[in-house]
Amino acid sequence: ICSCALRRFLWAVSNAVSGPVRGLLTVQCRYDPGWETYKKWWCRGAEWSDCHILVTTNGSEEEAKNNHVSIKDNQKQFTFIVTMEELRWNYEDTYWCGIERYGTDLGVSVKVTIDPGKSMYKCGCVSSGPAQLRALRVLSSDFSVTQSELSHRVVDFLIFACRLLHFFMSGFCL
């Protein structure tokens, strides 16, 4: 792929984006007129040759979604937008905006970084619904359980663990 040709047909509005852990980020990719009905894609991999496609449009303006990643093409504005949600530490990498075409696809790299935010650890008991069901949420990774799924003993231990995290990591507990 010739980088000079890429700039003529496809470019990312920003070649580096970031978002908070458990938050979201968006990437805007623009293309020249004439590419509207081509499939657009978003892939992950430091090298173009090892890039793994995460989500692809079908050549229309219909949004496509795969797990925590979505892509939507605005063919009137010659732009497609990629949204990554529920960001995790391990999402930090090089990604690519691309357009599928005969021969070698068009692609431009985007560096994605994940910000830790003010606190990596949050814990608390929250209530919801008319029955005031309690749910314990531990947000230090991707761990989320409800009280009905656990014995009271395990819930008590997790509350204790949250308080320890609060004490040692300067997070907060409700």
Rounded distance between C-alpha atoms, residue 69 and residue 163, angstroms:
33
Residue 139 has a pLDDT of 41
32/52 same-domain check: yes
Q: How many angstroms separate the CA atoms of 30 and 10, rounded? A: 6
Residue 116 pLDDT level (bands cut at 50, 70, 90): confident
Please indicate, yes or no, whether residues 94 and 20 belong to a single structural domain of this protein. Answer: yes
Q: How many domains, the chain?
A: 2
Q: Indicate whether 69 and 26 sit together in one domain.
A: yes
Place of tokens 């029955």: 131
Regarding predicted confidence, which is higher, 64 or 144? 64
Domain match, 91 and 11 both:
yes
Enter the pTM of the model: 0.65
Pick from 115, 136, 161: which residue ends a domain?
115
Q: Would you say 123 and 139 are in contact if contact means Cβ atoms under 8 Å apart? A: yes
Residue 50 pLDDT level (bands cut at 50, 70, 90):
confident
Query: 155: Cβ–Cβ under 8 A, 6 or more apart, which residues?
Result: 136, 147
Domain that holds residue 44: 3-115
